[in-house]
């Protein structure tokens, strides 16, 4: 977590994912929009990783994580994330299907919540190397309020061998179809 961060509001972790189009540009654009949104301050960002798809056969994903501080409510922050997804052409056709940009709210402080629109912490992140590897880059010591485990401990329990750093000069866009 960013050293010396003494601001007001909640620290939140956002997972970024995408596998359609110029995902690197979408990630940079999403961070720029978050950084200029009222009540949001970016604290840290991870490197980007290339990751095999979870779900139906589709191109590899790029994944990353951002830490931010916000004075917005969890529901309001989710709306901001969904508005940014839409601005980058996100369409919802297929569960776990291909997408230009996915922004998931992993942690909102130590808040636990379960409503029709929002589950906190994010329900799937503990089983996903593509979330935990970049999350550990920015928040290894963060304690998951539901399991009591740190991000580093959760990551250690998974096979992360297929989560590899993006090499910008070698990873083209759109990502090539995964051979699986
Ligand atoms: N929702 C509830 N809690 C949250 C939360 N904490 N953060 C609701 C964000 N959204 C939350 O999400 C469906 C609904 O979840 C939202 O309307 C919101 O109210 P969505 O983004 O519309 O749909 P989705 O993303 O297709 O579904 P889902 O189940 O959220 O999928 P995931 O978990 O986002 O997974 N493979 C790799 N390698 N990397 C990836 O990033 N991503 C997915 C999608 C599949 N395979 C992947 C990756
Ligand atoms: Mg999502």
CATH of the domain at 157: 3.30.70.560
Does 32 reside within a domain? yes
102 is catalytic: yes
115: exposed, middle or buried (Cβ count in 10 Å: 0-12, 13-18, 19+): exposed
Tokens 């004075």 sit on residue: 71
> DSSP H helical segments within the chain, as ranges?
23-36, 74-87, 129-139, 151-156
**pLDDT for res 177:** 44
Q: Which residues pair with 88 in a beta bridge?
A: none
Q: What pLDDT is stored for residue 7 in this prediction?
A: 72
Identify the active-site residue in 104, 126, 137, 155. Answer: 104
Q: pLDDT value at position 35?
A: 97
Using an 8 Å Cβ cutoff, are 169 and 91 in contact? Answer: no
| Domain assignment of residue 170, yes or no | no
- Structural domain includes residue 176: no
Q: What mean pLDDT is predicted for residues 65-74? A: 98
The parent domain of residue 51 ranges over 5-165
Please give the pLDDT value at position 169. Answer: 63
Catalytic: 5?
Answer: no
86 within domain boundaries? yes
Residue 175 resides in a domain? no
Higher pLDDT, 50 or 96: 50
Ligand nearest to the CA of 64: 1
- Token pair of 90, please? 């996100």
Q: Give me the mean pLDDT over the 79-93 stretch.
A: 89
Estimate the crossing angle of helix 23-36 against helix 74-87, to 10 degrees.
140
Q: Is residue 34 part of a domain?
A: yes
Q: Which of 22, 90, 110, 171 is catalytic?
A: 90
Q: What is the structure's pLDDT at 44?
A: 98
Ligand 1 pocket (Cβ < 6 Å) reads 17, 51-55, 61, 63, 78, 92, 95-96, 102, 104-105, 117-120, 122, 124, 130
Mutate to test the pocket of ligand 1, among 12, 75, 100, 104 (most ligand atoms within 8 A of CB): 104
Distance CA 147, CA 150 (A): 9
The domain tally of the chain equals 1
Task: Give this prediction's pTM.
Answer: 0.92
Instruction: Kindly report, residue by residue over 111-146, the tens digit of the pLDDT.
Output: 999 999 999 999 999 999 999 999 999 999 999 999
Q: Is the pLDDT of residue 176 over 70?
A: no
Report residues near ion ligand 2: CB below 5 Å: 102, 104
Tell me, yes or no, whether 143 lies in a domain.
Answer: yes
Tell me the C-alpha to C-alpha distance, in Å, between residue 97 and each of 17, 58, 119: 11, 7, 20
Instruction: Express each pLDDT in 6-21 by its tens digit.
Output: 578 999 999 999 999 9
CA–CA distances in Å: residue 158 to residues 85, 93, 125, 127, 143: 28, 29, 11, 7, 17
């Amino acid at each position: 977590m960013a050293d010396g961060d003494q601001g007001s509001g909640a620290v939140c972790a956002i997972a970024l994912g995408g596998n359609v189009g110029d995902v690197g540009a979408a990630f940079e654009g999403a961070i720029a929009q978050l950084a200029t949104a009222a009540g949001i301050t970016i604290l840290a960002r991870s490197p980007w990783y290339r990751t095999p798809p979870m779900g139906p056969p589709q191109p590899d994903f790029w994944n990353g994580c951002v830490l931010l501080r916000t004075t917005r409510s969890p529901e309001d922050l989710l709306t901001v994330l969904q508005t940014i997804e839409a601005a980058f052409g996100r369409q919802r056709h297929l569960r776990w299907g291909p997408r230009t940009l996915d922004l998931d709210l992993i942690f909102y402080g130590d808040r636990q919540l379960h409503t029709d629109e929002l589950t906190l912490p994010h329900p799937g992140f503990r089983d996903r190397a593509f979330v935990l590897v970049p999350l550990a880059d920015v928040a290894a010591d963060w304690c998951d309020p539901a399991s009591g485990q740190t991000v580093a401990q959760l990551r250690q329990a998974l096979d992360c061998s297929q989560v590899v750093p993006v090499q910008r000069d070698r990873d083209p866009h759109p990502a090539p179809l995964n051979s699986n």
